[in-house]
Structure 1
Amino acid sequence: MSQADQLIWGSVVLSLCAVIHVGLLASMIPILQGVGHLIRNRGRAIRTAIITGVSFALIVFSHTIQVWLWAYSLMHLDAIEYFYDALYFSLVTYTTVGYGDLVLPVDFRVFGAFGGVSGILCFGLSTAFLVSLVSRLLPRSFESKFDSFHSSGNKDA
Structure 2
Amino acid sequence: MLGEMVIGTLVNIAVILVHLAATFLLVSFVRPLAHRLAAFPRMRLTLALLVTSSVLLIAHLVEVSLWAGVFLYRELVPTLEAAFYSAFVGYTTLGFGDLQQGEHTRLLGPMAAGSGIMMFGWTTALMIFVLQDHMPRLVRHRED
TM-score, reference length from structure 2: 0.94
Unaligned 5+ residue runs, structure 2? Answer: none
Q: For residue 33 of structure 1, report the CA deviation from its aligned partner.
A: 2.1
Superposed CA offset, 1:16-39 (max 9, x none)? 10111122112210111233345x
Q: Which structure: larger Rg?
A: 1
Task: Show the counterpart of 2:134.
Answer: 137
Moved more, 91-100 or 72-81: 72-81
Aligned positions of 1:77-156 closer than 5 A: 77-146=74-143, 148=144
Change (3 A) 1:48 1:78: same
Task: Show the counterpart of 1:4.
Answer: 2
Moved over 3 A (4+): none
Task: Show the counterpart of 2:54.
Answer: 57
AA aligned opposite 2:22: L
Q: For residue 43 of structure 1, report the CA deviation from its aligned partner.
A: 2.1
Q: For residue 80 of structure 1, report the CA deviation from its aligned partner.
A: 1.4
Unaligned 5+ residue runs, structure 1? Answer: 149-157
Change (3 A) 1:41 1:135: closer
Counterpart Cα distance in 2 of 1:145 and 1:105: 58
Report how many aligned residue pairs link the two structures. 144
The Cα RMSD (Å) is: 1.3
For the pair 1:68 / 2:65, whether they are aligned, the reply is yes
